[in-house]
Amino acid sequence: MLNRLEMLRLFCAAADASSFKEAAARLGTSPQAITRAIKELEEAVGEVLFHRNTRGIQITEFGTQLAEHASEMVAGVDNLFHTTDSVSDKDLAGLVRITAPSIIGRHYLLKSLLPLINRHPGIRLELGVTNLVADVVDKKIDIGVRIGQLRDSRFVARSVAKISFHIVGTPALVATKGKPSTPHDLLKLPTTALMDGNTGRIWPWYFAGNHLLTPSASTFVTDDPEVECDAVLAGIGYGQLSSQQAEPHIRSGHLVTVLDDYQPEPWDLYVYRPQRGPVPARIRLVFDRIVEILSDPNTFTEAP
C-alpha cells in the first residue's frame, strides 16, 4: 500500500492529465501505478474520483475539489524539502504545452526553444500557435504568452515587455493618398483591418486617451496579423501594427508612421502559467527560458 502523500502526488498528476498513461509519463512511472493509487485513494475517501470509459477518464466533481486541496498540500511538503541541487535530465523529461500568439510563437519562441530541446532531449514541447484566447484549463496548457490584459487572476504571470502600436503605411501610399491629420481621416483613406477570431468582429484601432476607431470599409481584411503586415508593406492601405511587426520595417524605411501624437499607451506582454499545485522542473525551465527570450529587447530588433 502506498503512503498517503505518494498517493496524493499520483492523484494530482492524474487530475492534471488527459489519461493515466499521460500522468504516468510525466512522473516516470507506469499507468498501472497510477491506477492502483487512484483505487486506493477512492477506497480511503469513500468517493469515486474519476469516471472511466473506453475513451479515457473524466474527473468527478468531488475529485476536482480534492485535487485543489491536495495539490496545495503536496506543494507545501515539496517546498519543505526543496534543494538547490542540479536537476537531472530524467527530472526534466516530459511534455510541456505552450500557447502563444502567431507572430510570437512562430518567429521568437520556436527558434529560441529548439536549443533547449537539443540540450534536454527528454523534454517534449507542444506549441499551439493561435490568436484565439486559449482555455488553459480545458487544453491543459502549462505556459501561455499573451498580449494585453489577462482574464484570470489565478495565473502566475510575468510582464516581460511592452507592446506599442503604430499607424503605418508605405512612403508611396503617403505620397499618393495623403497623410491623415486625425484618426477620423483614416475613414476616408485605404486601410487594412484585422478580424478578431474570438468574436468574428473587426479589431478596433486604439488611440491615446482610450479612444477607439473601427475601420468601416477597409480595402483588405484578414484574421492573421502577419498577413495584414504583408498587405501594409504591399501599399494596400494604412494599418495599425504592433511594434514587434512595424518597427524593423520603420527602421529600414519600408514603412513610415503617421498620427504619432495619437499613439496609445503600450500593452503588456505576459508569460503566464496556471497556478495549480507543484511546478515540475521541466515547466520551470521552459517558463524561465521564455521569460528570458521575451524580456530581451534584442529579440525584437529584426523583422519577423
Q: What pTM does this model have?
A: 0.66
Across 62-78, average pLDDT: 82
Look at 18-32, 179-193, 215-229 and tell me which has the smallest mean pLDDT: 18-32
- Is the confidence at residue 232, as pLDDT, over 60? yes
The helix or strand, by DSSP H or E, that contains position 26, with its residue range, turns out to be helix 20-27
Interacting residues of 285 by C-beta distance below 8 A, sequence separation 6+: 87, 92, 116, 120, 123
pLDDT at 277 over 80: no
Would you say residue 201 has pLDDT above 50? yes
Q: Helix (H, G, I), strand (E, B), or coil: what is residue 188?
A: helix
Q: What are the tens digits of pLDDT across the range 204-214? A: 999 999 899 99
Task: Quote the pLDDT of residue 163.
Answer: 92
Provide the pLDDT for residue 231. Answer: 98
Other Cβ atoms closer than 10 A to 163 = 16
| Every domain of the chain and the residues it spans | 4-80, 89-161+268-300, 165-265
Domains 89-161+268-300 and 165-265 share a fold: yes
Helix or strand or coil: residue 56?
strand
DSSP for 242-283, please give it: EHHHHHHHHHHTS-EEE-GGGPPPPEEEEEEE---SPPPHHH
CA 145 to chain centre: 3
Residue 2, all three cell numbers: 502506498
Count of other CB atoms within 10 angstroms of residue 29: 14
Interval 28-37: pLDDT, tens: 677 888 898 8
Spell out the CATH class of 4-80.
mainly alpha
| Average pLDDT of the chain to the nearest whole number | 86
Name which CATH class applies to 89-161+268-300.
Answer: alpha beta
Quick: pLDDT tens for 127-183: 988 877 766 666 688 999 988 877 666 778 888 999 999 999 999 999 999 999 999
What pLDDT, on the 0 to 100 scale, is given for residue 148? 85
Angstrom distance (rounded) from CA 77 to CA 278: 10
The pLDDT of residue 98 is 93
Instruction: Give the Å distances, CA to CA, from 225 to 139, 146, 194.
Output: 23, 14, 7
Question: CA 245 to CA 247: how far, in whole Å?
Answer: 6
| CATH fold label, 165-265 | D-Maltodextrin-Binding Protein; domain 2 (3.40.190)
The three three-digit cell numbers of residue 11, written as one number: 492523484
pLDDT score, position 84: 41
